[in-house]
DNA sequence: CTATTTACCTACCATTTCAGTAGGTGCAAA
DNA sequence: TTTGCACCTACTGAAATGGTAGGTAAATAG
């Protein structure tokens, strides 16, 4: 399995915020309750999204989170790359991969590159707006 | 990361057999040496391919492995599904997944299904023959 | 000024998976 | 009967996964 709960939960949180943040900031415990997820675990995931300017967090009463961008301008690939760190299907295509010696003669590398390209292409083509309830594609 | 060494090594072994089994059976220690892989580890992977009739093993002197099918008739997807058990990108699409309650109302399921479809479609479209040295696509 | 509410941070933990290794047994040919 | 091979089971160290525990920092309400 490629996408862990970190990435999947992050995506659900973002969609939830997109659908429920009509007025101001939404505290994470509301999202956690709606989605049936552990608040404590989400609290460890959200700083990743904040530091990448996908959402903004405000402390104190009346605070919470809201999206920094329009749902149509946030892609699924963006969220997953932040939370998963790397969505490469094999180790040799990961960001910090050790350089393979036989890279020029590797028979299997073209498949992995082809797979990687298709995965990223697809995930970048789907936006949060595409996943919202009122969208026709549903 | 989605594809572990089990699947990647299996693919390299199959391509190696396709390129080097001009005459009869190839002992696995030869493949292991050519590919720079642990023989002991490969010995644990190959029975999976045998039981799925992708390769045939013959004991004793002069024995080894050979492909049961033409390289053009073996897809990468086939090999990976056998060795990885499951190549679903998320847990809820795995073969033995626990049925999700909110499946009819899940905002994120369509992305995972779309991703799963594209991954399988691509991996099934690439054959071992496509990966061999003498192939133009290289 | 204090209490409350929220985000955010660090450390820990149980379980599972990964990537092998060790040490054999079974079978077939020379 | 010895050699070369496939094949089987049990074990292991390291890392990742999916959290929990127990705080601190900031903002607002009263």
Measured in angstroms, what separates residue A6's CA from nucleotide D18's C1'?
9
pLDDT at residue B136 in the model: 58
Cβ atoms of A35 and A16 closer than 8 Å: yes
Question: Which nucleotide, over all strands, has the C1' atom closest to the CA of B30?
Answer: D5
Query: Which residue is closest to B120 within chain A, CA to CA?
Result: A115
First to last CA, chain A: 25
Q: Taking residues B27-56, what's their average pLDDT? A: 97
pLDDT at residue A136 in the model: 59
pLDDT digits (tens, 9 = 90+) for A21-46: 877 999 999 999 999 999 999 999 99
pLDDT at residue B86 in the model: 87
pLDDT at residue B137 in the model: 57
pLDDT at residue A54 in the model: 97
How far apart CA B5 and CA B102 sit, in angstroms, is 34
Our CA-based measurement puts residue A119 at a distance from the nearest CA of chain B, in whole angstroms, of 7
pLDDT at residue B37 in the model: 96
List the nucleotides on chain D closer than 7 A to a protein CB: 3-10, 16-22, 25-29
Q: Taking residues A50-67, what's their average pLDDT? A: 97
Judged by a CB distance cut-off of 8 A, whether residue B59 touches chain A is no
pLDDT at residue B22 in the model: 78
Cβ atoms of A51 and A59 closer than 8 Å: no
pLDDT digits (tens, 9 = 90+) for B88-110: 999 999 987 877 777 778 999 99
Q: Answer yes or no: is pLDDT of B21 > 90.
A: no
In chain A, the domains with their CATH numbers are 5-131 (1.10.10.10)
Rounded to the nearest integer, the mean pLDDT of chain B is 93
Our CA-based measurement puts residue A105 at a distance from the nearest CA of chain B, in whole angstroms, of 9
pLDDT digits (tens, 9 = 90+) for A88-98: 999 999 987 87
Q: Answer yes or no: is pLDDT of A100 > 60.
A: yes
pLDDT-based confidence at residue A72 (cuts at 50, 70, 90): very high
pLDDT-based confidence at residue A138 (cuts at 50, 70, 90): low
How far apart CA B17 and CA B132 sit, in angstroms, is 10
Q: Answer yes or no: is pLDDT of B138 > 60.
A: no
Cβ-7 Å neighbors of strand C: A 25-29, 40, 43-44, 46-47, 50, 57-61, 63-65, 91; B 4-6, 38, 40-41, 43-44, 58-63
How far apart CA B122 and CA A137 sit, in angstroms, is 23
pLDDT at residue B127 in the model: 98
Q: Taking residues B122-127, what's their average pLDDT? A: 98
β B64-67/B55-58 pair status? antiparallel
Measured in angstroms, what separates residue A40's CA from nucleotide C13's C1'?
15
Question: Who has greater pLDDT, A102 or B60?
Answer: B60
Question: Who has greater pLDDT, B138 or A84?
Answer: A84
Number of C-beta neighbours around residue B79 at 10 A: 23
Q: How many CB pairs under 8 A join A and B?
A: 81
Alpha-carbon distances, residue B22 vs B18, B132, B134 (angstroms): 8, 14, 14
């Amino acid at each position: 399995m490629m996408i862990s709960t970190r990435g999947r939960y992050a995506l659900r949180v973002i969609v939830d915020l997109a659908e429920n943040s009509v007025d101001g900031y939404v505290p994470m415990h509301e999202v956690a309750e709606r989605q049936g997820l552990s608040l404590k675990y989400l609290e460890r995931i959200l700083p990743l999204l904040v530091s990448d300017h996908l959402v903004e967090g405000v402390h104190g009463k009346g605070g919470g989170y809201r999206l920094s961008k329009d749902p149509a301008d946030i892609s699924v690939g963006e969220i997953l790359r932040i939370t998963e760190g790397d969505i490469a299907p094999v180790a040799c295509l990961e960001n910090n991969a050790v350089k393979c010696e036989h890279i020029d003669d590797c028979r299997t590398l073209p498949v992995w590159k082809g797979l990687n390209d298709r995965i990223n292409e697809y995930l970048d083509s789907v936006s949060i707006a595409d996943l919202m309830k009122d969208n026709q594609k549903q």
